[in-house]
Amino acid sequence: MSMLKIEGVHTFYGNIEALKGIDMEVNEGEIVTLIGANGAGKTTLLMTCCGSPQASKGRILFEGQDISRMPMHEICQLGIQQSPEGRRIFPRMSVYENLQMGAITQDPKYFNSDIEMVFDLFPRLKERINQRAGTMSGGEQQMLAIGRALMGRPRLLLLDEPSLGLAPLIVKQIFETVEKINREKKMTVFLVEQNAFHALKLAHRGYVMVNGNITLSGTGAELLANPEVRAAYLEGGH
Amino acid sequence: MSAAFASSRTNGSEVVKELAFFAVIALLMSVMLLGVETVDRPTGLELAVRWDLVLLAIGATVIGRLGLIFRRENISRLGQAVLITLSAVAVFEMFVRFRELDDRWVSPVFLDMVFSSVVSTIIGIAFVAIIFATAYFTMKDKTAADVDESAKLSSKIQLAYRSNTKKIGLIGIIFFIIFPFIFGEDRSAIDLATLVMIYIMLGWGLNIVVGLAGLLDLGYVAFYAVGAYSYALLSQNFDLSFWLCLPLAGIFAASFGIILGFPVLRLRGDYLAIVTLGFGEIIRVVLINWYDLTGGPDGISSIERPSFFGMADFSRRVPDGAIGFNELFGMEYSSMHRLIFLYYLILVLALVTNFVTLRLRKLPIGRAWEALREDEIACRSLGINPTNTKLSAFAIGAMFGGFAGAFFATRQGFISPESFTFLESAVILAIVVLGGMGSQIGVVLAAIVMIGFPEMFRELAEYRMLIFGAGIVAIMLWRPRGLLSFRDPTILLNMSQKEKVAGEIK
């Protein structure tokens, strides 16, 4: 069953058409990845799913409900949480407070078990529990961003470039954890990445975006083997 | 001397250049400020030229600068102390002379004053000795280790402050509670303390909007005005008592906060500041022009004073059917009773503001304000409704402004739009910013510095503004993020506060 269904979505920034009719879907329990070059519209698509900016044409269905006209905070309360581009943790708050912020719309009774779950996934965060989030390394901040999103008890987790600006070893760790979240928590993950190799290896299915259009789709392995994808996103890089 | 210079980084000609530069600056600044003075003579206003003052200003600057160079270049510990002391004496001399009109060249006023009596001799010597000792002992032999040492000292002070915030707050509260017992008969001290307390309360109220929610509000005084006028009008037109009007004033101000909040929700930063500034002015202009209701520029006079919780009255001539406060407690009548009561009233109001703010900071709504200040998009992606969050910050901040306004009206007994100018907003905002955004104790310190000191030094007449300006510049130089600019997590786990703070400073 498809959890997130995007049908013919167009999004504009002023007069500029950033998304030119996108169709894609994310099924329950999958990791779906969207790869593409800078400026292709990947982040715009992810943010359109969250309601900021709103799609000017087309529909976005989350578990059968049209969310394309809802404000961002209501969409997020439905069970879509994201780790936004550039992580956007709260730098002056402690790690613990950031995680509390993630759970702010949730029933407090889940809080203790949820935070234990996050600390199991990211033991590093437990060590840094009282540290000011802005003083942590990039990798730790990314872990915090994902952990904060998980505290919102999502059914669909959106990750926008979790590998941005991180060392290869850390990227590997992050992706391993994402896979673990998917496998053990049965979490549906929609991953937007430039780091095509890692992302496609991880993903059940993938889409390739060029200039606001989806040009290719297939399973992760198919796309990895696809000569066009290899030429555009993989050769020379890894 | 030349050998001393040769050993350091600075040579003689550079020093002369530096001194000349400062002499010119001193000349430029002092000629207009000190050198020319209008004197009221029988023939009319005349310009008097005070070259002695200009000379003193230049002398003090050059000597002081030379002292600082000595200090900086490690030339002579004794020398720099002597020079700095000389410079301080020259500054003192300048101030004393400026207040007197005669133009004397011969004997320094300082010496005259010092030798006029035994007491003043002692005071004078003490003055010189203190400056000399400070200059002498604070000079450090600058090496890398020493720089480390001073950084460590400041972090130690920080540590001490941050791990004892509660105790410091408690000591502050106790001090303010026993304040009237110390200065019980000093009317001006109680008045001043009440004034400072009003600004502390306004600062704490604005701190919710600016410090916690990060919404720059330049029109906060509007809510203060709404509170004051709603109490004054309700009490005059409907004969309602202060105790009933106080919550009403808060509600009115809060609804004005929401009215202001709606149009500015989409604005941020500079734009928000300008719109709130305009809102503050609109309220003031309406108050001036709506003559029928507000009395326009004449204001509203003989506003009812508060009673002792409706049980007793503070007036000398008690109206029929009421008991005097002094009778109720079997004391002699004293006009101080009301002042002290007002002082305690504002103290309680301010403490309520503080308590509510501290509680809110720990609740989801307060946390959402802080998060909104840091990153609005992240907040929305976590499911926080930015509209409600911002409106609640405006409303709660405005409500406390309204309480303070009602108190102000009942204390003054007279209000007019003059009391609610933009300058007031600026002063309140300055208290919040100088205190360190979001710091509760910082607001108290800043209110004392901003309101208390200028009032205390009222005898210095126009110089207090000069000193005030210097104080602001000093804060900008040494504490650019506010007097107390830390934000501590509201919750710490598995660790004492001390360890946590220490860990962070390392």
The pLDDT value given to residue B103 = 55
Q: Which of A73, A90, A130 is facing B371, going by the closest CB pair?
A: A90
Indicate whether this model's pTM tops 0.80.
Answer: no
What average pLDDT does the structure give for chain A? 91
The pLDDT value given to residue B397 = 95
Q: Indicate the Cα dihedral angle A221, A223, A224, A227, nearest 10°.
A: 140
User: What residue of A is the nearest CA neighbor of B369?
Assistant: A101
**Pick among B265, B367, B381 to test the A interface (most A CBs inside 10 A):** B381
Rounded CA gap, A49 and A80, in Å?
Answer: 9
Task: Pick the more confident residue, B394 or B157.
Answer: B394
For residue B304, count CB atoms less than 10 angstroms from its CB and return exposed for 0-12, middle for 13-18, buried for 19 or more.
Answer: middle
The pLDDT value given to residue B1 = 45
Chain B residues inside the 8 Å CB shell of A90? 370-371, 374-375, 378
Report domain extents, chain A. Answer: 1-77+211-238, 79-185
Residue B46 clears pLDDT 70, i.e. is over it: yes
Q: Indicate the Cα dihedral angle B47, B52, B55, B60, nearest 10°.
A: -120
Cβ atoms of B227 and B353 within 8 Å: the answer is no
Rounded CA gap, A68 and A62, in Å?
Answer: 9
pLDDT more than 90, % of chain B:
29
The pLDDT value given to residue A126 = 92
Residue B319 clears pLDDT 80, i.e. is over it: no
> Could you tell me if A79 lies within 8 Å of chain B, comparing CB atoms?
no
Task: Pick the more confident residue, B497 or A94.
Answer: A94
Position B12 confidence tier, pLDDT thresholds 50, 70, 90: confident
Closest CA–CA distance from residue B499 to any residue of chain A (Å):
10
Residue A218 clears pLDDT 50, i.e. is over it: yes
> Could you tell me if B500 lies within 8 Å of chain A, comparing CB atoms?
yes
Question: Angle A226-A231-A236 (CA atoms, 0-180°, nearest 5)?
Answer: 125
Q: What is the ipTM of this complex?
A: 0.88
Which residues neighbour A176 within 8 Å (Cβ) at sequence distance 6 or greater? Answer: none
Residue B498 clears pLDDT 60, i.e. is over it: no
Rounded CA gap, B212 and B206, in Å?
Answer: 9
* Lowest-confidence pick of A157-161, A178-182, B325-329, B500-504: B500-504
- Every domain of chain B with CATH number 1.10.3470 lies at 157-500
The pLDDT value given to residue B2 = 45
Q: Which of A91, A104, A131 is facing B383, going by the closest CB pair?
A: A104
Chain A residues inside the 8 Å CB shell of B371? 90, 93, 101
Average pLDDT over residues B140-159: 62
Average pLDDT over residues A49-71: 92
Place of tokens 């300048």: B94
Residue B492 clears pLDDT 80, i.e. is over it: no
| Each residue's pLDDT tens digit, B440-478 | 888 998 898 888 877 777 766 666 677 777 777 777 777
The pLDDT value given to residue B505 = 40
User: Residue B471 corresponds to which tokens in the numbers above?
Assistant: 């104080």
Task: Pick the more confident residue, B143 or B345.
Answer: B345
Position B394 confidence tier, pLDDT thresholds 50, 70, 90: very high
**CATH superfamily for domain A79-185:** P-loop containing nucleotide triphosphate hydrolases (3.40.50.300)
The pLDDT value given to residue B55 = 86
The pLDDT value given to residue A159 = 95
* Residues 172-231 of chain A whose Cβ lies under 8 A from any Cβ of chain B: none
CA B240 to chain centre: 34
Tell me the DSSP string of B441-493: HHHHHHHIIIIIHHHHTGGGTTHHHHHHHHHHHHHHHH-TT-TT-----S---
Average pLDDT over residues A172-177: 93
CA A7 to chain centre: 19
> Could you tell me if A128 lies within 8 Å of chain B, comparing CB atoms?
no
What average pLDDT does the structure give for chain B? 82
| Each residue's pLDDT tens digit, B16-44 | 888 899 999 888 888 877 777 777 778 77
Task: Pick the more confident residue, A111 or B144.
Answer: A111
Q: Which of B379, B490, B503 is facing A97, going by the closest CB pair?
A: B490
B458 vs A62, B34, B100, CA distance in Å?
68, 20, 18
**Pick among A43, A49, A75, A88 to test the B interface (most B CBs inside 10 A):** A88
* Lowest-confidence pick of A133-137, A138-142, B372-376: B372-376
The pLDDT value given to residue B102 = 58
Q: Do residue B385 and residue A73 have CB atoms under 8 angstroms apart?
A: yes
Helix H or strand E encompassing A169: helix A168-185
The pLDDT value given to residue B300 = 92
Local structure of residue B31 (DSSP, 8 states): I
Q: Would you say domain B157-500 falls under CATH 1.10.10?
A: no
Rounded to whole angstroms, the maximal C-alpha distance in chain A is 50
User: What CATH fold (topology level) applies to the domain A1-77+211-238?
Assistant: Rossmann fold (3.40.50)
Other residues' Cβ atoms within 10 Å of the Cβ of residue A34: 26
Position B303 confidence tier, pLDDT thresholds 50, 70, 90: confident
Question: Angle B92-B94-B98 (CA atoms, 0-180°, nearest 5)?
Answer: 120
pLDDT more than 70, % of chain A:
98
Closest CA–CA distance from residue B385 to any residue of chain A (Å):
6
Task: Pick the more confident residue, B269 or A54.
Answer: A54
Rounded CA gap, A167 and A163, in Å?
Answer: 8
Residue B374 clears pLDDT 50, i.e. is over it: yes
| Each residue's pLDDT tens digit, A151-166 | 999 999 999 999 988 9
Residue B503 clears pLDDT 50, i.e. is over it: no
Position A32 confidence tier, pLDDT thresholds 50, 70, 90: very high
Task: Pick the more confident residue, B466 or B216.
Answer: B216
Average pLDDT over residues B403-418: 94
The pLDDT value given to residue B494 = 53
Local structure of residue A167 (DSSP, 8 states): -
User: What residue of B is the nearest CA neighbor of A47?
Assistant: B381
Average pLDDT over residues B377-384: 90
Residue B408 clears pLDDT 90, i.e. is over it: yes
**Pick among A49, A73, A157 to test the B interface (most B CBs inside 10 A):** A73
The pLDDT value given to residue B152 = 67
| Each residue's pLDDT tens digit, B88-113 | 888 888 777 776 655 555 567 677 77
Average pLDDT over residues B155-178: 83
Average pLDDT over residues A84-112: 91
* Residues 317-376 of chain B whose Cβ lies under 8 A from any Cβ of chain A: 364, 367-368, 370-371, 374-375
The pLDDT value given to residue B71 = 81
Residue B502 clears pLDDT 60, i.e. is over it: no
> Could you tell me if B380 lies within 8 Å of chain A, comparing CB atoms?
yes
User: What residue of A is the nearest CA neighbor of B385?
Assistant: A73
> Could you tell me if B443 lies within 8 Å of chain A, comparing CB atoms?
no
Say yes or no: do domains A1-77+211-238 and A79-185 share a fold.
yes
Q: Which of B364, B385, B491 is facing A96, going by the closest CB pair?
A: B491
Average pLDDT over residues A195-204: 90
Residue type, B440: Q
Chain A residues inside the 8 Å CB shell of B213? none
The pLDDT value given to residue B100 = 64
Q: Do residue B378 and residue A84 have CB atoms under 8 angstroms apart?
A: yes
